[in-house]
Structure formats: structure tokens, C-alpha cells
Amino acid sequence: MRTSRFPLSTVKETPADADTVSHQLMLRAGMIRKLAAGIYTWTPLGLRVLHNVEAIVREEMNRAGAMEMLMPSIQPRELWEETGRWQKFGGELLKIRDRKEQEYCYGPTHEEVVTDYARAELRSYRQLPINLYQIQTKFRDEIRPRFGVMRAREFLMKDAYSFHLSGEDLAREYRNMYDTYTRIFTRCGLRFRAVRADTGAIGGSTSHEFHVLADSGEDAIAFSTGSDYAANVELAEAVAPALPRPAPSAKLERVATPAQKTIEEVSAFLKVDPKHCIKTLIVRGSGGLVALCVRGDHEINEAKAAKLGELPGESVLAGEAEILKALGCTPGSIGPVGLPESVPLIVDRAAAAVADFVCGANREGSHYRGANWLRDAQITRIADLRKVVEGDPSPDGKGVLKIARGIEVGHVFQLGQQYAKAMHATVLDEQGKTCAMHMGCYGIGVSRIVAAAIEQNHDARGIIWPDAIAPFHIALLPLNMHKSEKLQRAAESLYGELTAAGYQVLLDDRPLRPGPMFADAELIGIPHRVVLSERGLDAGTVEYKGRNDTDNLDIARGELLQYLNARGILRKTRD
Ligand code: ATP
Ligand code: MG
């Protein structure tokens, strides 16, 4: 490709409304353009990268034995009613109406559509197992679309769904997909980690997320220093403290804490460590208000709370007015001592191990000191309620937890029979008995990978693409070519040679000064640069520099191809 024929549209200035490095660089390099909130156009440059990622995903899925298909984006309401997700999916589901007043949604995911297909097409165990996938545009009306294509509303996903006669067969395919994902992200040139995950709105039992490690990641991942344990912080278990709760030693006393609301304020005011304070949150349970207690230095884990039997599947804080009416005080003064019996008190494992603690007194502007469980406050139940923190023991008993940040680029689930049962997707087994199929589902954020790769690979000058997904492998930059016919001929001949060898080359044939020419190639992240100059031609050399190298290298013109091949630049795509 020649820059004279390719619409490069780089900009120097950092766009004001771009909130992460990848978003800024994708705009500055001219890879994407915003059409509306969370909705982007991919330019010819951006699309080259997106296609490279897509090709790797497609090749590895095919190699793993999955079959590609294409399902519609627009899905009828009736299908979503069958699984109850028309309501349950919530605000992310974009609902639309046609001229006949029929209701549809724009697909955020395809479990319903693929299960409908499977129940019509699959009749016998002989047709199983099967894994069907597509690479297709999804729409989720994200409450806060941000970071460009990383959390967009419209985005490209690879979604795969497998169907099995048994749970064991599903577990085997799950492993196959886990290994496939590992190959995909490795081939994309990314540093990543597979972590155990919460199954969230999609449901099912076992699930892993694949995270690209980057400080800007939205997710926190807990991993052990002493084993390969890794889990999304939402899921990571906070184990019970090793030591039992000490016996009470202090007297219960009420103290005035005027205008002290937060744990920080109260602990500073009373000069106690937040570890010796109990934080109480009032949430809406299925049958009225529920109190959740964690230690003052810990945070409630909403995903864990949402799974408590007392809650309706989500964790929603009660409003101030509601709390005032039920307890006679506002949220800053609530505590477990003297709560009405109608409010179940669920206490985190670490909070339950504290004695002589400080807590709200359920009276405006006052707290208790010297409070103790059982003596002063009844525990309905002890549960794992909090977010893990660095230094917590690893749940597998080996090492302690550290926390890193990650960008979720893939997610695999063992769904089991929930969708097949809800939608009556059955086959006949060997004995001629009707069985609901076991299902797995496997997603990859194809467009998100592009942004995640940039978050992980950039410097002050721009993007540094891993070879496998770079828009071009080589930037061929002849200096002042417009002034020299000899240079033009040399550039054309080298361009032909490199292209014939299978490299994707961007030949910069614009009459530009070297500075802006280099700056563009660096900003758009082309991993290898070859500079041609009159001086080099006379000496029989070209100048090579890897995007990550600090120094230029003079290479004999005749040895360039050999040198590039030896660097193993072109990851030739496999069949
Ligand atoms: P997240 O927690 O980031 O919202 P999710 O759990 O909702 O992700 P899945 O339903 O598992 O995502 O979708 C599969 C993949 O699609 C995710 O792993 C992610 O890479 C990608 N993805 C999900 N939502 C978006 C989005 N709004 N923009 C871009 N990619 C997305
Ligand atoms: Mg989501």
C-alpha cells in the first residue's frame, strides 16, 4: 500500500474527550471515528487491524472444530420471553418495534437464537457434540459507554455455542475452548491471564474470563503468589480469619459522634483503627430490608451480596428515606446493635471475628464503642461478603493474594441445561430417551482486543503493534523521494520485493519531510521501519529500526530480506 492511495488521517493533538491511551491513540492514528455515544466507524486503517484479529480468531476456532455460521442481529421478543430475559437482561437490551408493532431487540448475545436453531435442527445424540460460532456485531445499551471501542454500545464479538449430550462432554469442549482462547491471545501477541469468574447475567456454573493485563483495566484480578490461582475480584473468596474471635473485654458504651458519618471520619474521631469498626449497609431484600456488615477497612462485594438467598438476585442499597423510616436514623449511624428483629443481619467472615468494636448506634450522630457479637448484636448468618484485598490468604491455601488490573477480552461458560430446559431444546439419546442438551458459550470481544492491545503496547510516540495484528508489517520510508528518480526506482523495487515475500508494506510516497513521515509511522504503530536515502543507496545500505528498538541498524541492501526473515516478523497465518 502507498500512502498516496491510502487515507491516513493522523492528528498530533490529543483529543479532549478521549479518556484512555488506547482511545486517544486510535483517534490520533485515525483508526476510528465516533458517530454517536459508544458507536464508531472503523476507518480503512483501523479495519486492517480488526480483520487481523478476526482472522486469528476464525482460524483457531476452525482448527478447534467449531463451525462458523451467521445469525441475525435483530431478534424477536418472543424468544427472549421464553428464557425470561426480555425483562431480566435490563437496560442494556435495546428494544425496538417494527411498523406492525412487533417487538424485537438488537442482539446483545445469542443464546436464545442459537438454542432456537439447535432445537429445530438437532434431533439425535448422533448430531452431537457441535460447536457453532459467528463473528458478528452486537449492541448493548451500556449505561456509560467509554474508552472508545473498549466499552462501546455497538461492538464486534465472536460468540460460540456448543451442544452436548452430557455434562462430561461439555466439560471436555470447555477445556478445548479454554485452550483455543489461550492460543488466540498468544497469537495476538498479548500478555494475558485466565481467571475464574462470576457467571453474571448469562448464568451457568463454571466460567473463566481472559484478561489482557494493563494498568488501565476496568477489572481487578486477584492472583496467588504461591500457586496458579487467579480469579476476578468479584468472585475471589475471602477466607475466614485463622484465629477465632476473642472474648469480649470492653463494656458497651454509647458515644456522641456529631456529623461523623463515614468510617474514616468515625475512626479518626474516636481514634480507633478502621479494622475495629463495623460498617453496616442496608439493602433491599426479597422480603424487606437486610443489613450487611463488613469490617471498617473492607468493602462489600456486590456480586457476592447479590447471591445471598435473602436478596432478589441483585444488591441494591436502600434509600435514605426508607432507612430513616425503618430505623429512625440515616445511613451514617446504622449498626448491628439493637436493629429491629425483622431485619436479618448477615455478617462477613472477617467482621464476625472482631471483638470490642465500634459501630453505629442507630441514633443520629451516635456510635457504640466496645460492642460485641452475640452479647450485644445477634448474627443471623455469617457469609463471605467482602472484596478480597492484597495480602489476603489465597483460597487454595497456597500463598497470598495480589491484585492486578485487567481488560476482559474473552469469557467462557459452562451453561449446563438452563437454556435448553427453558426452551425445550432436546435430543434423543442412545436409548431413545428425550434429553435437554448441555450447553457451553464462549465469547471474545474482537473489537475490544484492538484497544486492549494498544493499552498494553504503546509509548509516548504512539502505538507499538504486535506483528500478528499490525495494520502493516513494514513502513518503507524513502527520504525526499520526490527529488530523486534513483530513489524512486530503488523504493519501488524494494517495495515489490518485500510485498512478494509476503510482508504488508506501507510505502510512504508523500513529498514529506522525514520528521512528520517518521512520526506518522510511529504513531500508527508499524512494528518495523526501513528507511531509504540517497546516501544509503550510494553505500549500498538501508536503515532498519524496530518500533521498540532504540538504535538504527545499517543493513546491506541485498541482506535486508534475509534479516527480516530471520527476525521472524511475519507470523504467517496457519490454516
Ligand atoms: P463486561 O464485564 O466488560 O461488560 P461482559 O461480561 O458483559 O463484559 P460477555 O457477555 O462475556 O461480556 O461478552 C463477551 C465479550 O464481549 C467480553 O469478554 C468482552 O470482551 C466483549 N464485550 C462485552 N461488552 C462489550 C462492550 N460494551 N464493548 C466492547 N466489547 C465488549
Ligand atoms: Mg457487560
45-85 pLDDT, tens digit each: 999 999 999 999 999 999 999 999 999 999 999 999 999 99
- Residues 6 or more apart whose CB falls under 8 angstroms from that of 210 comprise 181, 182, 185, 192, 193, 194, 195, 408, 409, 410, 411, 412
Mean pLDDT, residues 462-472:
97
User: Please, what is the Cα angle at 124 between 123 and 128, to 5 degrees?
Assistant: 110
> Residue 200 pLDDT more than 70?
no
> Residue 573 pLDDT more than 50?
no
**Which ligand minimizes its atom distance to the CA of 109?**
1
- Closest Cα to atom 31 of ligand 1: 445
pLDDT band at 574 (very low <50, low <70, confident <90, very high): very low
Amino acid code (one letter) for 291 = A
| Closest-lying ligand 1 atom to the alpha carbon of residue 140 | 27
Q: What is the DSSP letter of 262?
A: S
> Residue 435 pLDDT more than 50?
yes
Question: What's the gap in Å between 9 CA and the centre of ligand 2?
Answer: 31
- Closest Cα to atom 19 of ligand 1: 445
Lowest mean pLDDT among 293-297, 375-379, 481-485: 481-485
**Which ligand minimizes its atom distance to the CA of 159?**
1
**Which ligand minimizes its atom distance to the CA of 151?**
1
Question: What's the gap in Å between 445 CA and the centre of ligand 1?
Answer: 6
pLDDT at 17 (0 to 100): 86
pLDDT at 330 (0 to 100): 87
- For a pocket test of ligand 1, which of 448, 449, 450, 454 has the largest count of ligand atoms closer than 8 A to its C-beta? 448
Mean pLDDT, residues 277-295:
95
| Closest-lying ligand 1 atom to the alpha carbon of residue 108 | 10
What is the reported pTM? 0.84
Q: Chain centroid to CA 428: how far?
A: 38
pLDDT band at 203 (very low <50, low <70, confident <90, very high): low
- Closest Cα to atom 16 of ligand 1: 445
Among candidate residues 404, 405, 399, the one with its CA nearest the CA of residue 224: 399
- Residues 6 or more apart whose CB falls under 8 angstroms from that of 88 comprise 201
Q: What are 373-412's pLDDT values in tens digits?
A: 999 999 999 999 999 999 999 999 999 999 999 999 999 9
| Closest-lying ligand 1 atom to the alpha carbon of residue 444 | 15
pLDDT at 567 (0 to 100): 84
CA atoms within 13 A on the CB side of 286: 10
pLDDT at 569 (0 to 100): 73
